Structure 1
Amino acid sequence: MQTLDWWLLLHPVLAVVLIYPLLGIVVRLGLQARQRRIHQANLPATTGRDHNQLGQWLAAAVVVLVLIALAVVISSKQPADSSRQLPLLLAWLGTATSLIALWRVQSAGLRLSFGLITWSGVLALGAQPEVFRLSDNPLEGAFWQSHYWGGVLVCGLMLFNLAAWPEIQRHLSWRRLHLSANVLAAVLFLSQGISGSRDLLEIPLSWQQPFLQQCNWAERVCPSPPQN
């Protein structure tokens, strides 16, 4: 494996080592916090606070992971138009800065604004031709099988959690919305694990790419190697 191949592995490695274990902890704490609130279960009073804090870390980590994946994919393919490189770098830095601002601001209006700016930045970076997507049409089955679009949807749900957390804590209706959104997020996390594993099988090592580019993927035929 070459250096580029290790960089491409950074995204799935961080997902396996960091995101999914943290996801399990947050889900468990969320269930305990709900049991304590509804059924008056004999659970520590810190359960809700721990769920809150770790949930925010999980949400931010998911967005950072998506930004890392986009940065590696776009930079590894070196956009042919050099005039795009600086705007793409600024867009990436602006999105990361907006995420930091979302973490720090207090007012609802600013949280909403920075949440939307962050997600818009992710969508803008993901729309670049260097980023592979099975389909951009939601009416096609391939769209819903795309690892990219699943990741973007999860990212949006995590940004909602970050932006609306004070309201989620104070209002029952927001807690119900939070619960519904995170049931959907759990399904998407499961599908991401499946589609991500599938994509790892399809991504060749960098030194294999020149040969595989000659293959006819529709017919599943590759040229015969030269005879010595």
Structure 2
Amino acid sequence: MQFVDWLWLIHPALAVVVVYPLLGMVLRAARQTRDQRVLKQTFPAAVGKNHADLGTWLTTTVTGIVLFAEVVVITTANPLAEFSGGPGRLFQLFLVLVGSIVAFLALLNVRKLIYRSTFALLCWIGILTLGMQPEVFRRSDNPLDPEFWQSHYWSGIVLTGLMLISLAMRYAIYRNIRWRRLHLSLNIFAALIFVVQGISGPRDLLEIPLSWQKSTIYSCNFDNRTCPQPSDQASPLPQTP
């Protein structure tokens, strides 16, 4: 493996090592918080705050590794000297990246719902903008195509949006039961998407060749599942008498 291959591996590695363990802790704390509120079961007083804090860490990690993956894919698709669109486009994408990070940091530091929702939306739009670049592989952009619903990319985009929405409504759910119910519904959906991501991610890893293999692998016909015969076939061994 070359350095660029290790860069591509960081995204799934962080998902396995950080995101899914955090998800387990968030779900456990969520169950304890609900049982404490609805069933009046006895848990430590801080269980609700722990759930919210862990949820913030989970959203931060998901957002971070998605942005990291998009940056790696865009900047390693071709040598930077041959970057499509030149320095101008590269600078524009850099501004989108910085804007997404700034919007997320602002989301963490404001409390009013309208501001939190605005910064969450701006961050998600930045993530979507980077993800829609031609260097980023997407199975399909057509919702009528079955491949669209099998896309690791699109389910990841939806999941990130759900996580940002949940983080935006953190303080609202303390005061209004309707927000609390919406928060619960969205995060049940998000948990299902996490399962889908856990399946589609390893599938895509199987399909991504190492950097030195790409020129050969991508010359294949993926529809017919055929590859051209190599031109440098070894000469046959001489026949023994």
Give the TM-score normalised by structure 1: 0.97
Paired with 1:219 and 1:103, the residues of 2 have a C-alpha distance of 49
Work out which of the residue numbers 96, 104, 112 in structure 2 matches 1:99. Answer: 104
Shift of 1:108: 2.1
1:163 aligns with 2:163: no
Paired with 2:113 and 2:39, the residues of 1 have a C-alpha distance of 31
Paired with 1:132 and 1:169, the residues of 2 have a C-alpha distance of 40
Aligned to 1:77: 77
1:44 aligns with 2:48: no
Q: Decide which moves more: 198-207 or 214-223.
A: 214-223
Paired with 2:61 and 2:175, the residues of 1 have a C-alpha distance of 24
Percent sequence identity is 49
Aligned to 2:233: 227
Aligned to 1:197: 202
SS in 2 for 1:165: coil
Q: What is the 5 A alignment of 1:9-28?
A: 9-28=9-28
Choose 1 or 2 for highest CA Rg: 2
- More contact order relative to length (CA 8 Å, sep ≥ 6): 1
Q: Which has more helix, going by share of residues? A: 1
Shift of 1:80: 1.9
Aligned length: 228
Work out which of the residue numbers 178, 182, 191 in structure 2 matches 1:186. Answer: 191
Aligned to 2:66: 66
Paired with 2:20 and 2:141, the residues of 1 have a C-alpha distance of 27
Shift of 1:107: 2.1
Unaligned ranges ≥5, structure 1: none
1:142 aligns with 2:147: yes
1:127 aligns with 2:132: yes
Shift of 1:109: 2.1
Q: 1:103-142, CA deviations, whole angstroms, 9 ceiling, x for partnerless residues? A: 1112222111111100110111111000111111112211
Paired with 1:214 and 1:141, the residues of 2 have a C-alpha distance of 24
Q: Decide which moves more: 36-45 or 25-34.
A: 36-45
Shift of 1:86: 0.8
Unaligned ranges ≥5, structure 2: 235-241
Paired with 1:171 and 1:110, the residues of 2 have a C-alpha distance of 18
Give the TM-score normalised by structure 2: 0.92
